[in-house]
Amino acid sequence: MTAADPGPDAALSDQERAVLAVERQSWPGPGAKERAIRERLGISPVRYYQLLNALLDDRRALAEDPVTVNRLRRIRDTRRRSR
């Protein structure tokens, strides 16, 4: 198995769980969310969204938090169709 394909029994990393936790929250505005991403996760918002997008295609993330992942998949699909 590789880092890109961790295998069926591998658990999500702490960072991956933290990304999903940030997405479960509601934010008063984009600045607050970006600040929280930097402070809590120690990564840039660009990197955060790269990780998040990869998680949306990861079956482990779907198993971990199906409500959040399915909601974000619907949003992503709607945006793709509108382009």
Q: Over the stretch 37-78, which tens digit does the pLDDT of each residue have? A: 999 999 999 999 999 999 999 999 999 999 999 999 999 999
Neighbouring CB atoms inside 10 A of 60's CB total 18
Q: Is residue 4 part of a domain?
A: no
Q: Is residue 71 part of a domain?
A: yes
Helix (H, G, I), strand (E, B) or coil at 19: helix
pTM for the predicted model, two decimal places:
0.82
Query: How many folded domains does the chain comprise?
Result: 1
C-alpha–C-alpha distance, residues 77 and 53, integer Å? 12
Q: Is residue 1 part of a domain?
A: no
Closest CA to 20 of 3, 40, 44: 40
pLDDT band at 19 (very low <50, low <70, confident <90, very high): very high
Q: Is residue 35 part of a domain?
A: yes
Q: Is residue 3 part of a domain?
A: no
Closest CA to 20 of 82, 63, 59, 65: 65
Q: Is residue 40 part of a domain?
A: yes
Q: Is residue 37 part of a domain?
A: yes
Domain range for 49 is: 14-20+27-82
Q: Is residue 41 part of a domain?
A: yes
C-alpha–C-alpha distance, residues 51 and 35, integer Å? 17
